[in-house]
Structure 1
């Protein structure tokens, strides 16, 4: 068996095991009620940039993994210093879906190059386009988007799949979470300049905002089981 085929086979098995574990944990241990609309919008077998927002909790990335097909594999880029606690790093490593990158280089070139590499392999790139510093922003307000997604879409010519969340700011066992998957968005033209990228980014922000589901039902504080889930993987 060629080495490349063996690598892809091992990667596919790892992905299946990890995604099965995520779905079983969400349903039977955390007992989350995850309501998903728009699954039919997900293109089959296509390399995509999958963007999620508003990003206010660690669970958002796992929600995106939960709703997307196992293959093509989806990969998130995360700060190489984001997790300093060993067991949290282990959880992320076991999923096979998180790739650490430097976030200190000028213009975040390391992350951009890594993202293009993921797409070039035919995989799907998961991104929170507000950046890594919006976790405490208003729960239902999509912040201004960085141009990184526009750059990646333009240079890869991959479409962008918008996914919006509701109910993820506070977590507890049995919480209802809502996910809306939108229509894939065409990338900016290859010759686009900064102005076009900014306009395209604002259109993406407006899409994420407009398709956001209604907030799910809540519970009084004294009725919330396992409220520590809110910050479990922070």
Structure 2
């Protein structure tokens, strides 16, 4: 927590001054209680930019390897991601998916904000891909609202394959109005409910990001 406060009070203002991300709709993020921050995903730096401009701490997931390194490099990586409030989960497809959802529910049950990318992985062509229903599982299981987010131009700030964000492009983060899915909590057709909730979230994200929709799932490249 001390590392987070240092990052929030010292590193965040410095980063905002350097990269100057723009933000719209920050007032739509509830200041208290569990809430899902559901965003499109264009760049690695999305998980840095969104917490920079959000009016409260947003916890994202990160590969467990970032927390397990040794030596100075490992300690710096661990401190950086802990400072962001990130939660480590295994990358393995079979173990990772459920572990990620359970970790997210734990964050929400503690009354915190949890960030998730319903597409599952970054879009390499700029299109918005079909959402996976894990975001709906979280919303309906934890019984929390969802704030849709559209990030714009983060792929220009830090293109795929680069390590250092560029200074000139200015990313835009748009927070939409919270979506309330309480009407779906007691539905018996659970699978259909999750699909409908996910599609509504993705529609809200698309309106904020302005992206072309792909209409299919985004499969993770083998090298990622």
From 2, 6, 9, the equivalent of 1:20 is 9
Displacement of 1:23 after TM fit?
2.2
2:46 maps to 1:60: yes
1: CA distance between counterparts of 2:210 and 2:100? 30
2: CA distance between counterparts of 1:25 and 1:91? 18
Displacement of 1:87 after TM fit?
7.0
From 156, 167, 170, the equivalent of 1:173 is 167
Displacement of 1:96 after TM fit?
4.3
From 22, 26, 31, the equivalent of 1:35 is 22
Displacement of 1:86 after TM fit?
3.4
Structure 2 equivalent of residue 76 of structure 1: 60
In structure 2, the gaps of 5 or more residues are: 158-165, 212-223
Distance 1:94 1:101, change over 3 A: closer
**Native 8 Å contact 1:103 1:111 kept in 2:** no
**Native 8 Å contact 1:159 1:184 kept in 2:** yes
Corresponding pairs, count = 196
Helix, strand or coil: the match of 2:100? helix
1: CA distance between counterparts of 2:16 and 2:113? 24
Displacement of 1:213 after TM fit?
6.1
Structure 2 equivalent of residue 201 of structure 1: 198
Q: Rg: which structure is higher?
A: 1
Structure 1 equivalent of residue 214 of structure 2: none
Structure 1 equivalent of residue 142 of structure 2: 156
Structure 1 equivalent of residue 109 of structure 2: 120
2: CA distance between counterparts of 1:86 and 1:107? 21
* TM-score between the two structures when normalised by the length of structure 1: 0.74
Distance 1:44 1:27, change over 3 A: closer
Distance 1:15 1:88, change over 3 A: closer
Structure 2 equivalent of residue 98 of structure 1: 86
Distance 1:164 1:87, change over 3 A: farther
| 1:84-122 C-alpha deviation (Å, 9 max, x unpaired) | 773772453341411111243358221111111111111
2: CA distance between counterparts of 1:46 and 1:22? 25
2: CA distance between counterparts of 1:81 and 1:107? 13
2: CA distance between counterparts of 1:21 and 1:159? 30
Distance 1:34 1:106, change over 3 A: closer
| Aligned pairs for 1:215-234 within 5 A | none
* TM-score between the two structures when normalised by the length of structure 2: 0.77
**C-alpha RMSD over aligned residues:** 2.5
Displacement of 1:24 after TM fit?
2.7
2: CA distance between counterparts of 1:94 and 1:154? 27
